[in-house]
Amino acid sequence: MHIRFIYNPKSGRERSQEKVSNVIKYLFEDGHEVSMRFTKKAHDATEFAIEAEQDKVDRLVVVGGDGTVNEVVCGIQESNSKIPVMIMPGGTTNDFAIYMGLQKDDWDTYKTIVSGKIESVDCGKVAGRYFMNVGACGILTDVAHNTPVGLKTAFGRAAYVMKALTELTPENLKPIKMKIESEEVSGEYVSYMALVANSKSVGGFQKMAPLASVHDGLLDVLVVREMPISDLVTIFMKIRAGEHVKHPSVMYFKTKKISFSSLEEEVELDVDGEFFGTLPATFEVVHKAINLLV
């Protein structure tokens, strides 16, 4: 088989480099052809995924974090590719890879690439772009953008928790007056956060969207409405157990399509951990979009 690696060298640690080297060694020893593409700037991974379809490679291995995976998903969808994809988590959060159980040792990673089970999984779409994990505005957007790189390197996923705790202050909380439109929920709301998730794991929290599934043809929507800061801290502390969705000021439901628009000031949008623009935005699910090796 011809196996193409798309590798973001900036997203990982030294262990990622060692892991890639070991896996490639196993592939060579097994007689497979291996080619490499290294990303240097934004959207390189998208172009490399399109190129992989043109080159008719047999397997695509993505080494990087959620942002790199996002770009590859865009390339796969734009080229209508059905190439099976393996994700080797190399970023600091790797939410989607964690949700799919892809944190494997070197040998199991190699075996998954050559003979793993192929699952057709959903992705999301917003403003003509695709995403694998989440779109968010509000508190989570601030955390993703403002967590220092040094903190992420040192503490990994815990860095986002640490940063989030510092933002739960009256000075940092900025309620968003927004309009939500979907078949399930429509209306105007004042909220601290809104997110649309494809998987359970978001921002380092593995049960942020506790009922999410990449196989159900639906996106999970979580809206945290305005409330006293003491209640917000309580909700935050319940996220790890997935109990936050039971709070009366939290809206949680599933949908195929949903639109958000700001009724006042400009609101930034974050998609798969990267700045994406501002509201308004319409999210929809793409069912069985990606062939994933698991």
Active site residue ranges? 274
Nearest 5 degrees, angle CA 190-CA 229-CA 223? 35
Token pair for residue 178?
A: 């927004």
Find tokens 């930034």 and name the residue.
268
Listed residue (35, 86, 33) closest to 64, CA to CA: 86
Cβ-count burial of 107 within 10 angstroms (0-12 exposed, 13-18 middle, 19+ buried)?
A: exposed
The Cα–Cα gap between 279 and 277 comes to 7
Question: CA–CA distance from 56 to each of 80, 129, 287 (Å)?
Answer: 12, 23, 23
* Residue type, position 129, single letter: R
At residue 235, φ and ψ (nearest 5 deg) are: -60, -45
Cβ-count burial of 193 within 10 angstroms (0-12 exposed, 13-18 middle, 19+ buried)?
A: buried
Q: How many helices (H) and strands (E) does the chain have?
A: 9, 15
* Residue type, position 9, single letter: P
Listed residue (135, 136, 109) closest to 123, CA to CA: 135
The Cα–Cα gap between 125 and 4 comes to 25
The Cα–Cα gap between 98 and 293 comes to 14
H or E segment at 291?
A: strand 281-293
